[in-house]
Amino acid sequence: RAFIDVFTDISGLFVINNESGWYEGWMIHDLKVAPVNNRPRPDGHAQFGTILKSDADKLKGGNKVPGAFFTVDGSAPHWPSPNDHFPDKQTNVVPIQVSMGAWNTLQQSDGHAYWEFNYTTDWVHPLYELPFTGGIPGTFEAGQIGALQSIIPGSGPNGIKNDPVTYGDNPNTKGVTQGTGPRDPDKFDGDDDTQREFRMRFIPSGLANEIFLDVYQRLASFEPGVTDFKQRLFDAYAAEVARVDANGDGAISGPEGDVDTPSDGFEDNARLFIPATQFNRFAITRELNDGLLAPRFAPSQRAWVLSGIQVPVNPSVPASAGEDGDDR
């Protein structure tokens, strides 16, 4: 529930002039092997944040060690490297990437940006965009880049699809009353729930983690026998969003995604947000206006211009408590 000020100060990048391009920072949490809890949900699915023993038995190599970084091939983690080459030599970890906002630089000079990490910003692009960014080897050649958009909020190709007139960015009315006016994803809080944005395209980071557990680690308790990545991803996205989506519209609204809102049998939503200290990497991408919220060419590092790892501050600096009074 802390509000953490984050400042970006970059030197040496060229200014972006054309097609409304920008630089974007990303806090990256790499998926870890979940602990085993052999008490399933009533439907046989593993409990939140865990896998069943039958799931663990299907994992390979280092993926059998709870708490280890998960890799798609079961080998030791291969972290992104300047020696990588797309598409044949890439990282084998699974990133969850929280956007730190868009910015530009002065000509061949400094770039400065401010962003605040809190429960209203610790959200992730809709994961069902990933097969359409061009960043998964073979998808570009298959003509999949840009083949699907998330402009109208919903729970993906295998989930709820909403009416563009109701859930689109509406230019025709004014104000912030729910259901009217232009979308405002920053209008997360308000004096009344009807003032809070309900047409959210993205999802809480911890929910993204849960979706990836379904896709990669719950090979026995979630769609056993299904090996197609896209089907597992699309089905998992729809299923996990539905656990938090109280009104069944396939989108996590401001009230539904609030950290204090109960959902899925839990007294609040704190579990849905990855803490700041668990983001182990950082990257900056050079973005184009392609309509996707996912990093350009995600999950690859093809659009990266800078990257680094988390360096803990010792002793730690206390985070600010509460927030200011400006909820615009």
- Mean pLDDT across the chain: 91
pLDDT the model gives residue 170: 87
How far, in Å, CA of 214 to CA of 51, rounded?
A: 9
C-alpha distances out from residue 321 to 6, 121, 188, Å: 15, 16, 18
Token output for 224: 């056993």
The yes-or-no verdict on residue 12 having pLDDT over 80 is yes
Is the CB of residue 236 less than 8 Å from the CB of residue 218? no
pLDDT mean over 207-225: 97
- Residue 152 predicted with pLDDT over 70: yes
Residue 11 banded pLDDT, cuts 50, 70, 90: confident
**Structure-token match 């699309």, residue found:** 234
Q: Is the pLDDT of residue 319 over 70?
A: no
7 — pLDDT class (breaks 50, 70, 90): confident
Question: Using omega within 30 degrees of 0 as the cis cutoff, is the peptide bond preceding 42 cis?
Answer: no
Residue 109: per-residue pLDDT: 73
In angstroms, how far is CA 80 from the centroid of its own chain?
A: 19
Share of the chain above pLDDT 90, in %: 74
Read off the pTM. Answer: 0.93
**pLDDT at position 315:** 87
The mean pLDDT value for 215-237 works out to 97
Average pLDDT over residues 148-173: 92
pLDDT of residue 83: 92
- Average pLDDT estimate for 264-285: 96
**Is the pLDDT confidence value at 24 over 60?**
yes
Tally: H helices and E strands in the chain: 5, 8
Mean pLDDT of 202-212: 98
CB 79 within 8 A of CB 48: no
Q: What is the pLDDT of residues 43-99, one digit of tens each?
A: 999 999 999 999 999 999 989 999 999 999 999 999 999 899 999 999 999 999 999
The pLDDT-based confidence of 106 (bands split at 50, 70, 90) is confident
